[in-house]
Amino acid sequence: MKKKVLIIEDQPNSREALVQMVRKISRDIDIFSTDNAEAAYSEAMQTTIDVFLVDIILNTKKPGDVSGVIFAERIRQVGKYAFTPVIFITSLQDLELCAYRKIHCFGYIEKPFCDLEVEKLIEQALAYETKREDSKRIYFRVDGVLFSQETRDIIYVETYKHVLTIYSRNEILRVPYMTCGQFLREADAVCFVQCSRNTIINKNFIRNIDFTNRMIQLQHYENPVAIGVTYTKKLEKELVV
- Edge-first strand order for the sheet with 3-8 is 29-34, 3-8, 51-55, 86-90, 107-110
Compute the average pLDDT of residues 222-232.
92
pLDDT digits (tens, 9 = 90+) for 51-90: 999 998 898 888 878 899 899 999 999 988 999 999 998 8
Predicted pLDDT at 125: 95
Give yes or no for residue 138 having a pLDDT over 80: yes
Instruction: Give the C-alpha distances (Å, rounded to integers) separating 105 from 47, 97, 164, 225.
Output: 21, 10, 40, 43
Burial (CB < 10 A; 0-12, 13-18, 19+), residue 9, is buried
Predicted pLDDT at 108: 85
Compute the average pLDDT of residues 104-131.
90
Reference 60, options 109, 10, 15; nearest CA is: 10
Determine the Cα–Cα distance for residues 43 and 57; give it in Å rounded to an integer: 20
The HSE-up count of residue 29 (CA atoms within 13 Å, CB side) is 27
Determine the Cα–Cα distance for residues 238 and 208; give it in Å rounded to an integer: 14
User: Strand 206-210 vs strand 215-218: parallel, antiparallel, or unpaired?
Assistant: antiparallel
Task: Answer for the pair 3, 29: CB distance below 8 angstroms, yes or no.
Answer: yes
**Most confident stretch, 5-19, 136-150, 184-198:** 5-19
Compute the average pLDDT of residues 87-104.
68
Determine the Cα–Cα distance for residues 21 and 18; give it in Å rounded to an integer: 5
Give the chain's domains with CATH numbers: 3-125 (3.40.50.2300), 137-239 (2.40.50.1020)
Predicted pLDDT at 63: 84
Residue type, 66: V
Give yes or no for residue 9 having a pLDDT over 90: yes
Give yes or no for residue 46 having a pLDDT over 90: no
pLDDT digits (tens, 9 = 90+) for 215-224: 999 998 888 9
